[in-house]
């Protein structure tokens, strides 16, 4: 009993020390006046936090640092847009002035050029000296017009480049604001799911790790079923692995290329799906030629990449390695492409058993289907 109390006190002391250290580093970044240097400080702070052991305190500190960093980057991008907007306004004024000047000069030059032939100048001028002077003046005017045209063309190129830069910055700003929203939702989801409890946090990390271990073992111990063709039924959406490494009925669909998980979207056909990860609404997803493994209407509960719930996938750097989805019409899972089918089952996160189906499509490409019935 005494030993448990001592260990608990040591743990509390460690957590308190981490909280204090994180506050010191965060305050040090906040005290920096220069925006670029403050951004660099938070980037270094994230590197320091990532190197620490995975604890709930550390994870919350990472979210706080990410949110501050993204907020600063938004401010930096907005400053660039304002400065660029001022330059574009000046360029527009300069461009208008050059265009008007060139138009006026072009009209005058054209009028002079009509009598620009040497013979016409000779017969229209009162004397030879006047004709020669008029001819040389016309040449100078034409040279000045060419110089003006070159300046106008250069200004147009610069203006177009600045406009393209502004469009790029506006797109970047939109992505940054979207990232900030995801980070805030992710922090809130972390606190809700763990109830701010370290034990619950560690259990969720263990579940994610158990799921990864099951996939790795399936690659070695999966039982070969045989060839399948595109559209063949290969399983049913289920909740196998619950509660050890599944939180509810769904299909986790994952693609691996060369032994590394990749975004499934470039493999799947473009389709409108319900975006339940971000509160509903339809989103178009996919750019490949594989049919989706389940039928419409598809509800996508978690995307690939950094999501509000992907903090638990510490082994992948916080990346959810596939799509989580369910269908409103059918539980049947169908092969999206030809290949060789394998099946595998094992314990996952305690007494639960997870069922995995995967297809070897050749060319070092595999597709995985987790939590099947």
β 298-302/271-275 pair status: parallel
- CA 160/CA 333 separation, integer angstroms: 50
Model confidence, pTM: 0.70
Residues of the chain within CATH 1.10.287.1490 domain(s) are: 1-192
Query: Alpha helix (H) ranges present in the chain?
Result: 2-30, 35-50, 56-113, 118-124, 128-194, 198-221
Q: The tokens 């204090």 sit on which residue?
A: 20
Digit-by-digit pLDDT tens for the chain (373 residues) are: 555 444 444 444 544 554 545 665 667 898 898 999 999 999 999 889 888 878 999 999 999 999 999 999 999 999 888 887 777 676 666 666 666 766 665 565 555 555 445 455 455 555 556 555 655 665 676 677 666 667 666 766 776 777 788 888 899 999 999 999 989 988 998 999 899 899 999 988 988 888 899 999 999 999 999 999 999 999 999 999 998 888 889 999 999 999 999 999 999 999 999 999 988 899 999 999 999 999 999 999 999 999 988 988 988 888 999 999 999 999 999 999 999 999 999 988 777 899 999 999 999 999 999 999 9
In CATH, the number for domain 1-192 is 1.10.287.1490
């Amino acid at each position: 009993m005494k030993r448990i109390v001592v260990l608990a006190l040591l743990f509390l002391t460690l957590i308190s020390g981490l909280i204090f250290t994180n506050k010191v580093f965060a305050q040090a970044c906040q005290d920096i006046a220069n925006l670029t240097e403050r951004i660099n400080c938070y980037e270094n702070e994230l590197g320091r936090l990532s190197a620490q052991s995975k604890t709930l305190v550390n994870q919350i500190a990472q979210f706080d640092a990410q949110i501050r960093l993204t907020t600063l980057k938004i401010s930096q991008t907005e400053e660039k847009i304002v400065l660029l907007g001022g330059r574009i306004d000046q360029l527009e004024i300069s461009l208008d002035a050059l265009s008007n000047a060139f138009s006026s000069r072009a009209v005058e030059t054209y009028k002079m050029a009509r009598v620009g032939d040497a013979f016409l100048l000779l017969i229209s001028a009162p004397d030879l000296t006047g004709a020669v002077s008029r001819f040389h003046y016309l040449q100078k005017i034409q040279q000045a017009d060419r110089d003006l045209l070159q300046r106008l063309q250069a200004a147009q190129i610069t203006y177009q480049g600045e406009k393209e830069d502004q469009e790029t910055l506006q797109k970047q700003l939109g992505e940054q604001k979207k990232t900030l929203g995801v980070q805030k939702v992710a922090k809130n989801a972390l606190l809700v799911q763990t109830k701010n409890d370290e034990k619950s946090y560690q259990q969720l990390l263990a579940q994610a790790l158990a799921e990864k271990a099951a996939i790795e073992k399936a690659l070695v111990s999966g039982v070969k079923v045989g060839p399948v063709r595109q559209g063949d039924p290969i399983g049913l959406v289920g909740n196998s692995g619950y509660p050890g490494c599944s939180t509810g009925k769904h299909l986790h669909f994952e693609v691996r290329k060369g032994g590394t998980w990749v975004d499934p979207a470039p493999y799947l056909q473009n389709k409108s799906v319900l975006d339940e990860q971000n509160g509903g609404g339809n989103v178009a997803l996919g750019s490949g030629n594989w049919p989706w493994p389940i039928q419409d209407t598809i509800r996508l509960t978690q995307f690939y990449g950094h999501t509000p719930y992907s903090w638990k996938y510490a082994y992948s750097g916080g990346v959810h390695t596939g799509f989580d989805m369910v269908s409103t019409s059918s539980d049947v899972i169908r092969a999206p492409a030809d290949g060789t089918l394998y099946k595998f089952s094992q314990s996952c996160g305690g007494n639960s058993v997870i069922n995995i189906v995967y297809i070897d499509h050749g060319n070092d490409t595999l597709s995985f289907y987790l939590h099947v019935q």
